[in-house]
Amino acid sequence: MTGSNGSTAVSDQPALPKPEGLEGVVAASTALSHVFGEEGKLVYRGFDIHELAGKASFEEVAYLLWMGQLPTRGELADLLQRLGEQRPLPTQVIDVIRDLPATAAPMDALRTGVSALGASDAGQFDDVPDLDEAISLTAKFPGILAAFFRLRQGLEPVSPRSEHNTAQSYLYQLFGREPEEKHWRPSEVYLTLLADHGMNASTFTARVIASTGSDLCSAITGAVGALKGPLHGGAPSKVLDMLEDIGSAENVDRWLTEALDRGDRLMGFGHRVYKAEDPRAEILRGMAAEASTPDFFELSRRTEERALAMLQERKPDRRLYTNVEFYSAAVLSAVGLPGDMFTPTFAVSRVAGWTAHVLEQMSNNRLIRPQSEFVGPMDKKFVAIEQR
Ligand SMILES: CC(C)(COP(=O)(O)OP(=O)(O)OC[C@H]1O[C@@H](n2cnc3c(N)ncnc32)[C@H](O)[C@@H]1OP(=O)(O)O)[C@@H](O)C(=O)NCCC(=O)NCCS
């Protein structure tokens, strides 16, 4: 084939299937977690998510992901102690966060903080990811976010207390006061639900970076960047924006119709893998019913009901259901978090899964380096700048 500039395009490529967005492509083997999309089922290391939600602590789930089995009492106590010891941030990292503008997005602050941690001379993170580093990074995520959350309000960061668990420590470092049980318990269940989710975009990012032989902070910095996008983890604050914009039950139909007529996507619906309801959405719906105000829950419920009906009517073949983000908005705002801290809170949980995936990748590593189908021109001739 000859182009307008005399170049030829590649025409002798074998006809390969083109899985746009790598849909359906198996990119790695993992024993960590799996999404059974048709059934609407999520499994961590053999445990259905319903088996763990509300029963296992976040630390038990993190241990399960890292070690492949639930901890004994002694192992859990040891992990809690190690997390407690690892929570304080190096001063250099706090200084980097202090220099960020208050207008920065918290996910940008987190990404910067994790990167700064990798460059700090605390000497904890070297080029070979290991369990100690995974624990340390998981312990430090809440502190990085809380430091930024406070500094942007003109408040000083609060030192973590070693007796807190992860959910308690996060809320304590954010708000500077002892968290109430009605806030940290739902936060903890939320953290257990979001800890891992098969070969999602941010996990894949972490594994790709780790596969190059890079360090853990680089892999997790990349993962934070991938999670930030609204098609992945950046949706729940947009769900809150949507619900606040809708405002009341009588506006639901008009608002949704206008959004769909514009071609907008409704945040909190649809999923690449689930073709049934996301099991986490079901659990979070139940939590939202208890944690959020009756008015807000009613508005969420009505919006969900009408959105599902309209999506079914407009895209009958697409099988679009409620995803995890929809009721995350109600649960996280009920525990006192502003919308822009929703995706960062997702990251506080997912760092356990990301680090477990990096360790799994390193246990049997091969560089992840796929092919692309070349569709550009060929055989172009260089023309000197004077003649262009
Ligand atoms: C999650 C998501 C990115 C999955 O995307 P995907 O697998 O690439 O799906 P596609 O982009 O191929 O979408 C398939 C079709 O469903 C439609 N669709 C998917 N999600 C939709 C949504 N939330 N609202 C309206 N339409 C939606 C698309 O417009 C597309 O329709 P078309 O083929 O007629 O153009 C997508 O469902 C989405 O954007 N959801 C909203 C954002 C969100 O909630 N993200 C959090 C995910 S946990």
pLDDT at 1 (0 to 100):
39
pLDDT at 163 over 50: yes
Strands (DSSP E) contained in 207-300 are none
With a 6 Å cutoff on the Cβ, whether 320 touches ligand 1 is: yes
With a 6 Å cutoff on the Cβ, whether 238 touches ligand 1 is: no
b vs e for 4-25, b when ≥16 Cβ sit within 10 Å of the residue's Cβ?
Answer: eeeeeeeeeeeeeeeeeeeeee
pLDDT at 5 over 50: no
Report the Cα–Cα distance between both ends of the chain, in Å, rounded: 24
Atom of ligand 1 nearest to the CA of 269: 23
Residues 303-313: tens digit of each pLDDT:
999 999 999 99
Top mutation candidate among 265, 271, 304, 306 for ligand 1, by most atoms within 8 Å of CB: 265
> Could you tell me the strand order of the sheet in which 33-36 lies?
33-36, 41-44, 47-48
Residues 325-352: tens digit of each pLDDT:
999 999 999 999 999 999 999 999 999 9
Alpha carbon of residue 382 to chain centroid: 45
Q: Write the single-letter amino acid at 340.
A: D
- Contacting residues for 161 by C-beta, under 8 A, at least 6 apart: 84, 169, 172
pLDDT band at 7 (very low <50, low <70, confident <90, very high): very low
- Domains of the chain plus CATH, in order, are 33-231+340-363 (1.10.580.10), 236-334 (1.10.230.10)
pLDDT at 235 (0 to 100):
77
Whose C-alpha lies nearest to ligand 1, atom 12? 272
Distance (Å) from CA 143 to ligand 1 centroid:
33
Residues 12-24: tens digit of each pLDDT:
555 556 778 898 8
Is 271 one of the annotated active-site residues of the chain? yes
Tokens of 73: 């009492």
pLDDT at 124 (0 to 100):
79
Average pLDDT over residues 230-259: 92
Count the neighbouring beta carbons within 10 Å of the beta carbon of residue 287.
22
Tokens of 16: 């390969």
Residues 260-275: tens digit of each pLDDT:
999 999 999 999 899 9
pLDDT at 17 (0 to 100):
64
pLDDT band at 236 (very low <50, low <70, confident <90, very high): confident
Residues 90-109: tens digit of each pLDDT:
999 999 999 999 999 999 99
Query: What percent of the chain has pLDDT above 90?
Result: 88
pLDDT at 70 over 60: yes
Atom of ligand 1 nearest to the CA of 233: 46
pLDDT at 61 over 90: yes
With a 6 Å cutoff on the Cβ, whether 265 touches ligand 1 is: yes
**From 133, 188, 325, 360, active-site residue:** 325
Residues 165-221: tens digit of each pLDDT:
999 999 999 999 999 999 999 999 999 999 999 999 999 999 999 999 999 999 999
Top mutation candidate among 267, 271, 303 for ligand 1, by most atoms within 8 Å of CB: 271
pLDDT band at 6 (very low <50, low <70, confident <90, very high): very low
pLDDT at 153 over 70: yes
**From 183, 197, 271, 357, active-site residue:** 271
Q: Which residue has the tokens 């968290």?
A: 179
Distance (Å) from CA 264 to ligand 1 centroid:
10
Whole-model pTM above 0.75?
yes
pLDDT at 9 (0 to 100):
46
pLDDT band at 4 (very low <50, low <70, confident <90, very high): very low
pLDDT at 19 (0 to 100):
75
Average pLDDT over residues 28-52: 97
With a 6 Å cutoff on the Cβ, whether 271 touches ligand 1 is: yes
pLDDT band at 3 (very low <50, low <70, confident <90, very high): very low
Tokens of 117: 């941690």
Nearest-angstrom CA–CA distance, 84 and 86: 6
